[in-house]
Amino acid sequence: MLVLDGKIAAAAVKVTLLEQTQALKAAGKRMPHLAAILVGNNGASETYVASKVKNCEETGFGSSLYRMDADVEETVLLAKIAELNQDPNCDGILVQLPLPKHIKESKVIEAIDPAKDVDGFHPVNVGRLVQGLNTFIPATPYGIILMLEHFNIETKGKNAVVIGRSNIVGRPMSILLSSNIAQGNCTVTICHSHTKNLKEICLGADIIVAALGVPNFLTGDMIKPGAVIIDVGITRVEDATAKKGFRIKGDVNYDEACAKASAITPVPGGVGLMTIAGLLKNTMKAYQGL
């Protein structure tokens, strides 16, 4: 069984990006710059944003982190986005989700200049993705495609099941897997909370992408021998025996899945690292003018 190690695949992406930034530096040009906005002090978001900043440094990118209190007014956040939209030295803007309930996420996403929307959530970029046009692909699905490419996972003609239909992962993932691209051309089924006979559907899948946020949801008896399993889940589960008081769990029962799968992503160390790789690739595309 092949472990789809995000550390290995992400490192390959970062090496290529570092070569690009070094060439830019040698030519006397400015570096790509990513601006991140973090509202509140959500622990998972703090960790994730810190990792993004670190990865920017490792690839030669510039980065800025703007922190705002959890009770910040929506107008203040929108004003900051407007400022960054006009900043010629800022190539990519991301607002870390989730946001406090008093702030409307869709309004914030739509406020970002589509040309700087490196998270790929703006309706303009989503529309371009659906039409197969050059665009910013949401970072997690993009990272998964990059991982499949790195490990030469064959997708053409395969049956793929995506569990979860969020705008962040499930929907764009289904579009990419069904698209006429190197790591696409699958026949895709999207499953969700109202899907009947989920187990039977999964047992017919050559590729399963689990992206619903329920720890250990996908069990071994739902996987056919030889399937490729992509675990997008990353949930903090309380564990008094763990040093931090919690453990990170994926949507897949890893031990059971390993007995069936031909390839699988670990959690942690899998898709999460590729999400950042996808974000960095998008930032470079933004710098280059897409």
* 139-272: in CATH 3.40.50.720: yes
Fold equal for 29-113 and 139-272 = yes
Catalytic residues: 52, 96, 119
- What band does 224 get if pLDDT is binned at 50, 70 and 90? very high
Tell me the pLDDT tens digit for each residue of 161-213: 999 999 999 999 999 999 999 999 999 999 999 999 999 999 999 999 999 99
Q: What are the C-alpha distances in Å from 216 to residues 204, 231, 236?
A: 20, 10, 12
Report the pLDDT value the prediction gives residue 129, as an integer from 0 to 100: 97
Instruction: List pLDDT tens digits, range 81-117.
Output: 999 999 999 999 999 999 999 999 999 999 999 999 9
Instruction: Give the type of residue at 224.
Output: K
CATH, range 29-113: 3.40.50.10860
Nearest to 40 by CA among 94, 103, 92: 103
Annotated domain spans of the chain: 29-113, 139-272
Say whether 141 sits in a helix, a strand or coil: helix
Residue from 249, 229, 227, 253 nearest 238 by CA: 249
pTM: 0.95
Is 45's pLDDT higher than 90?
no
